[in-house]
């Protein structure tokens, strides 16, 4: 396959801000199909990004029935990810679905099963793995420089960054707040860097504290406390089967200055790493403690920065390559499903007040 026909289901911000611009840069890709529950959004996206003759569909099932479409990108609210992804796989399409994989772990498992059964590729939009610092750190870890990683933190902390547009505050559609929205990125990054997908026990808490505030200061405008149905912050401790501990911190609103998003801290037997002020790798060599601090943005530097590929462009390019070359995508459905299993366990632990044990 050297020409790939792509269609988009859900033409909101993540489609027009990430998927469509990145797909447009790939020579082998033609964007030929568009669907949104708001037809005007699909029409607008088709006019801007569509190949000549691109179609706007009235129904996503009609789009899936089009045999000329090879790949479908799904950018809809969380509660529709499983239904649309499974239908697309069953229609013979390769699927990239936005994060999180699904609203529930059971839906995630059904998506994994559908990908296996149909033999089609399924990936999830965990774009932070494709950031320059993440990619570098992954190689450092694969070289063994951190040794055995036994303590980690997954950071997704905003001080006042509540997404007040779209359906982010809707529990029914999204399945949760900052934990499932941005905690999911930080946790995916942490598990991938640790290459550890076997949780043993999860203890979690979630809060509805600042969400109650009227006229709150917020980067995206004040929220309506009546409509803020999801948690404003959530925290967890995960113990993995090999004994490693992971702490998760996720907030859209929290009274802290220590904000970090889609980042992690890793501590291993040979060295450690954190994504603070660039990437900092620390360790001990020749009986001395060292810190190696790297910047991946040469901002303001007085030299040519080189041709820069954004993490989103890299993510989408490698995904299309995996289809063309018939190789496994970087983000696998099995890995993404473990993220969803853990997120669900954190919410469940918060509800019951008990730790959740995995088999």
Q: Which residues lie near ligand FRU (CB under 6 A)?
A: 163, 181-182, 185
Kindly state the smallest distance separating residue 131's Cβ from ligand FRU, in Å. Answer: 13
Kindly state the smallest distance separating residue 161's Cβ from ligand FRU, in Å. Answer: 7
Nearer to ligand FRU, 230 or 323 (CB): 230
Residue 153's alpha-carbon distances to 94, 99, 239, 271, 348, in angstroms, are: 33, 20, 12, 15, 20
CA distance 319 to 102: 19
Nearer to ligand FRU, 73 or 185 (CB): 185
Nearer to ligand FRU, 244 or 311 (CB): 311
Kindly state the smallest distance separating residue 342's Cβ from ligand FRU, in Å. Answer: 17
Token pair 């797909």 in the structure block, residue: 23
CA distance 68 to 77: 26
Kindly state the smallest distance separating residue 197's Cβ from ligand FRU, in Å. Answer: 21
Nearer to ligand FRU, 7 or 230 (CB): 230
Kindly state the smallest distance separating residue 78's Cβ from ligand FRU, in Å. Answer: 10
Token pair 């939009």 in the structure block, residue: 125
Residue nearest to ligand FRU (CB): 163
Q: How many CB atoms lie within 10 A of CB 144?
A: 11
Nearer to ligand FRU, 75 or 141 (CB): 75
Question: How many residues appear in the chain?
Answer: 359
């Amino acid at each position: 396959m050297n020409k790939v026909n792509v269609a988009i289901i859900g033409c909101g911000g993540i489609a027009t801000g990430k998927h469509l611009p990145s797909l447009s840069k790939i020579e082998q890709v033609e964007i030929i199909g568009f669907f949104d529950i708001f037809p005007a959004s699909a029409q607008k996206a088709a006019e801007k990004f569509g190949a000549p003759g691109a179609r706007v569909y009235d129904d996503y099932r009609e789009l899936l029935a089009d045999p000329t479409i090879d790949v479908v990108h799904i950018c809809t609210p969380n509660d529709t990810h499983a239904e649309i992804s499974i239908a697309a796989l069953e229609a013979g399409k390769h699927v990239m679905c936005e994060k999180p994989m699904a609203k529930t772990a059971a839906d995630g498992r059904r998506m994994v099963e559908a990908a296996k059964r149909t033999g089609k590729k399924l990936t999830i939009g965990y774009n932070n793995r494709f950031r320059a610092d993440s990619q570098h750190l992954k190689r450092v870890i694969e070289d063994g420089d951190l040794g055995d990683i036994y303590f980690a933190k997954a950071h997704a902390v905003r001080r006042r960054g509540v997404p007040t547009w779209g359906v982010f505050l809707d529990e029914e559609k999204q399945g949760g707040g900052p934990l499932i929205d941005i905690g999911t990125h930080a946790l995916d990054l942490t598990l991938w860097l640790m290459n550890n997908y076997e949780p043993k026990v999860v203890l979690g808490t979630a809060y509805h504290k600042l969400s109650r505030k009227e006229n709150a200061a917020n980067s995206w405008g004040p929220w309506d406390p009546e409509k803020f149905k999801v948690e404003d912050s959530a925290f967890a401790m995960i113990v993995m089967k090999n004994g490693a501990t992971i702490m998760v911190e996720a907030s859209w609103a929290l009274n802290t200055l220590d904000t970090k998003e889609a980042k992690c801290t890793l501590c291993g037997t040979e060295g450690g790493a954190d994504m603070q002020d660039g990437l900092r790798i620390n360790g001990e060599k020749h009986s001395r403690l060292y810190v190696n601090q790297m910047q991946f943005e040469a901002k303001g530097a007085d030299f040519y920065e080189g041709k820069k590929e954004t993490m989103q462009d890299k993510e989408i390019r490698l995904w299309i390559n995996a289809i063309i070359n018939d190789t496994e995508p970087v983000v696998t459905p099995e890995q993404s499903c473990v993220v969803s299993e853990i997120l669900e366990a954190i919410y469940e632990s918060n509800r019951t007040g008990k730790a959740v044990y995995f088999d």
